Structure 1
């Protein structure tokens, strides 16, 4: 199979592997996103989004259709009611209820179970029913207002049989409310039709004329204890006795559903979605002399019932977003996460996660403002899990070749070259193959003399400084640093990575290195520092060579041996750069060249031709190369009769020099 075919096959295999990783990551993300729809953190995020909404919108000014009359501490400790046990408050409720109906209330709900009847109490010594007839006023109130009054029951408590009888079968309903899996009340799911529903909220909605068909979530703008219209039971009873009381009661109750309930601390309290909202009271809302109960972490159950009943009546609710929208967002986020995890650098992935979270929360907030509730964490969770799966696959599978290449060539090739090799699956060819390469030997001139007169530490500093600069240029030109040999560097172009025009790149690199000489002399403090570079091009065996205990990538063969010997010719010719005929033939035609030497190197059966560039930067003594090295029997056509120094290659008569770098 040809190299192009192998590369195409490797690329196709890589694409299939990437596609499989994306599919697996998306599936994992979708499953995680669906599982997160009812996760514990979802409710908390939703409550925080409701808090943000309250911060950017004004408190609703419309008249809330449900009000609360609270049995609070102010009532129980007042002179008027302090002598009455709580189980005997039925007469107070009846009087207040009649007054509120007279003031225009549409319906009344009693959030008390009334499990006991005062009429049933008997003197423990005599057995005399001293309180017989005490509940008559309350029973008459329930009976005469059947269809307008609803009494509470729970799964653990039901009203006394006399009270149930007075209220009628449709006048006793369950006040139990559903909580999310984190224990917070956020939504109500009505049971239709409302007028026959066993739920207290549904019955009150029906009495108020509401049309509710789906599950909804209220959207309060502030804490319920401060925003729901409220009067203490004591305030209602006091207003009944005041001359202006009827008007104030009418202002409070007219057209509203009224709920009676306990607002005492730690009694019938629940966590509600209003827990992070501001504590504001609507302007113009009536408030009794007893004030309101203090705002606590939990919310009194009667306030929650009031909000669940009143919010649909003023269109202050949101419904759950369509399943298609939720599912679509989950799939999109999972796909984005998978693609990011597979294609982006690992250090960037945390930023992608933050972007997914911000986008998910932003979409959830926008959907909330549009009238839907969206599981804010579901889509970002899908994106995060997909990103993690794809990222792990990238590290564990797709990056394995790049890691191996970094291990082998990290100090000798640029990161971009290594990434390209990994993408092209080049590592599979490194077991040994013959490739056309350009080999360079870059030698420090006069190193032996320098090492004799300098301390060892200084010699090492000079060599490291020079090699660092040379290595930078080699890497920049897409070359590979094969090895360091004493005071010389061996570099290769077109192995292990593919390089376009390796000969021109190698010569360009040589010129760039030579241009660094003034700076290197300054940095090392060695005014006589100089370099000599020899290049050769041709086929060579490239591969991962070595034994079981140590292996390294290298090139070997005649091409390498020839390049090492060309350095000697460059030395004799007094030039900083020398290269063989195969290199010269591949250079651009406008790079003026000089012929240095033609002959047969020891150990070779073919003739070798050595050139340099016609560039003053390359002469060691500044006067030009020693062209007498050209053999006396050189062919006439190899000489330029127009030059005063025979030896110019005919193609270079234009004497154009390569651009300085």
Structure 2
């Protein structure tokens, strides 16, 4: 096993490793997405769904609410009629009010009170005389005569007095407690069937209204309950019973409705309900009595909660669980999307994709809510984000680490572009290649042979490596690619395999910068006689892999390469450090100073070649002057300045 290579790289190829990472991301996203159901934070998303649905709903209430509330509020307790009556002695009043709504056509009546005491059982502490015997008789008679329509509450810690329980009957006493979600907010009700035999007050009232509910449901409030549920203060209801017009008003309020009596006093039996972030109903639309209604508070009075749990089922404002398999399909689909994004997209883009995925998931849940299904809004967001994170970590930690290692290791031998292509495909490029226009350079260390005769081998290697390192940095900085080292020479290429916008200009600029480094190279190597010679040519070449199936090399080849090699002999003959052909000179920037130094037919070629250099003293060998074109040393040199046409 090669040192430094991850075991996973040896065990699996890139393609198989990608499949493994994708599978892990997909599994993690799906499992954690499904596990997000009923998470403590999921309620926050549900409440946002209710807010969005409320914004999309019209405020005009065209349908009559099936449930109404009669409240024992502060206005009632402060009224002349009830101010001196202790709450434990209000059973006759509640009987009068209850009978009034039943006579007016109410479908059922529920009391959200635990009548734990009976006035009949109170005795004078001094004499033992039961002075209030018979006080509760109207209420007991009311309960007995309306069994099946009137229900009183009990809780796990409180039960009605035995006389009241006896009057109401076994079926007339029901549990009024509600079960909150994991975040402490009441949103859901699970009925116990059959409703008529259920121990729950909500189910008993549903049965009295002949509701057909057979499964768990989530209530969908549209406004704050304290501002929207039809409401009468208890004192208003009592006042209405005293006149014919009032009794007609009670009939309009109560007919065919379930009526709930309960306390709406602050801090008494309040719950966090999913209406707490919703808007209030316009007071002009809300159905309310003369005394108005209690103020809206953060928590909601328990009697309003019970009323909405019943009213939502009766009016169809409920959301059911989606069909079996829906959440699995949803989690899987979003996990696939997150996995693909994590593997294929750049890391800076992923937060945007995550936000988009969460938004789409929220939109799907909202559409489901509009259709009557509560698609758990935490499933899809968790699935897409989890899978995206796992896939991205796998890509960066394993796949890209492997690619970076390949590029770093083999970048000393091959082009970075070639290595990335092979790392992505895990295949060797096809033999041959493509034809491209490039600039080919041959850079030769002048005096290397004499120097090597005088120096030990290890010193020769140090000098060559120092030269090649300093020269190679300049070539790379100017977009060039070092094709190969040939003894004491370098063959470099511009515009292959990478793309260079103006390879001729880049090659000449790099050559001049290398020549400017000559003094520093001499200083670093300790060889004051060391010199350089650079030859450039531009033209078409074949770029690609050359060799066979067992051994190959990425290179460029063609007449352009051979010509560049021949131009080096012209540079040597004319005593210049830089020489380049007319195709190079013709593509230099406007106004660039070039000097013609030779024109003729190079060995092995069938056409004349014009060779130039830069009109800069730095390109001439020390103590040398350039010869003139055509080999005639007596003719003056010709200066050519490239100008625009």
1:334-413 equivalent positions in 2, closer than 5 A: 334-405=335-406, 407=408
Whole-Å separation in 1 of the counterparts to 2:262 and 2:630 = 113
Q: Does 1:474 align with 2:479?
A: yes
Superposed CA deviations along residues 313-335 of structure 1, whole A, max 9, x for unmatched, are 12221111123111101001111
The 5 A counterparts of 1:611-622 are 618=612
- Partner-residue secondary structure (3-state), 1:399: helix
Q: 1:624 to 1:181 in 2, by over 3 A?
A: farther
**Which secondary structure does the structure 2 equivalent of 1:271 belong to?**
strand
Give the equivalent residue in structure 2 for 1:263: 264
Contact map agreement 1:119 1:132 (CA 8 A) in 2: yes
Say whether the 8 Å CA contact 1:596–1:627 is kept in structure 2: no
Aligned to 2:621: none
> 1:489 Cα deviation (Å)?
8.3
- Is there any run of 5+ residues in structure 2 with no aligned partner, and where? 1-8, 429-437, 447-470, 514-531, 548-553, 556-560, 583-598, 616-625, 633-643
**CA distance in 2 between partners of 1:291 and 1:613 (Å):** 107
**Which residues of structure 1 form unaligned runs of 5+?**
1-8, 428-436, 446-465, 521-529, 542-553, 580-593, 599-608, 630-659
Paired residue for 1:29? 29
| Counterpart for residue 586 of structure 2 | none
* Aligned-pair CA distance for 1:473: 5.7
Q: Which residue of 2 aligns with 1:251?
A: 252
SS of equivalent residue, structure 1 residue 261: strand
**2:504 paired with 1:511:** yes
Give the alignment's TM-score, normalised by structure 2. 0.72
Aligned partner of 1:107 in structure 2 is 108
Contact 2:601–2:607, Cα closer than 8 Å, also in 1: no
Once residues 469 and 493 of structure 1 are traced to their aligned partners in structure 2, the CA distance between those partners, rounded to angstroms, is: 12
Q: Distance in 2 between matches of 1:289 and 1:383?
A: 53
Secondary structure of the corresponding residue to residue 491 of structure 1 = strand
2:579 to 576, 580, 600: 576
Q: Does 1:201 align with 2:195?
A: no
Q: Deviations over 1:547-577 (max 9, x none)?
A: xxxxxxx99xxxx9x9999746434357733
Residue in 1 that maps onto 2:593: none
* Count of aligned pairs between the two proteins: 535
Q: Secondary structure at the match of 1:320?
A: coil
1:472-551 correspondence runs (5 A): 474=479, 479-480=481-482, 491=492, 511-513=504-506, 532-534=534-536
| 3-state SS of 1:202 partner | helix
- Distance, in Å, in 1 between the alignment partners of 2:142 and 2:422 is 89
Whole-Å Cα distance in 2 between the matches of residues 67 and 360 of structure 1? 36
CA RMSD between the two structures: 4.6
Does the aligned pair in 2 maintain the 1:412–1:471 contact within 8 Å? no
Change (3 A) 1:531 1:317: farther
For residues 418-444 of structure 1, the C-alpha deviation after alignment (integer angstroms, 9 at most, x for no partner) is 6324314589xxxxxxxxx99734699
Q: Deviations over 1:380-402 (max 9, x none)?
A: 10111111111111111101133
CA spacing shift, 1:628–1:109, aligned 2, 3 Å: same
Cα offset, 1:58, TM superposition: 0.7
* More moved, 564-573 vs 75-84: 564-573
> Distance in 1 between the 2:142 and 2:206 partners?
21
Q: Deviations over 1:100-157 (max 9, x none)?
A: 1122212100011101111111111211111111100100110111111001111111
Sort the Cα spacing of 1:540 and 1:567 in 2 relative to 1 into closer, same or farther, 3 A: farther
SS in 2 for 1:40: coil
- 1:50 alignment counterpart: 50
**2:439·2:507 contact (CA, 8 Å) conserved in 1?**
no
Kept after mapping to 2: 8 A contact 1:217/1:317: yes
| SS of equivalent to 1:152 | strand
User: Partners of 1:49 and 1:145 in 2: how far apart?
Assistant: 41
Q: 3-state DSSP class of the match of 2:171?
A: coil
Q: CA deviation at 1:472?
A: 6.2
Q: 1:410 to 1:310 in 2, by over 3 A?
A: farther
Partner of 1:117: 118
Q: What does 1:136-535 correspond to in 2, within 5 Å?
A: 136-281=137-282, 284-405=285-406, 407=408, 419-425=420-426, 440-441=441-442, 471=476, 474=479, 479-480=481-482, 491=492, 511-513=504-506, 532-534=534-536
1:461 corresponds to which residue?
none
C-alpha deviation, 1:513, in angstroms: 3.1
Whether the 8 Å contact between 1:567 and 1:578 is mirrored in structure 2 is no
Cα–Cα, structure 1 residues 178 and 247, in superposed 2: closer, same or farther, change >3 Å?
same
Q: Does the 8 A contact of 1:619 with 1:625 survive in 2?
A: no
- 8 Å contact 1:444–1:532 — kept in the other structure? no
Q: Deviations over 1:75-114 (max 9, x none)?
A: 1122211111111111110011111112221210001110
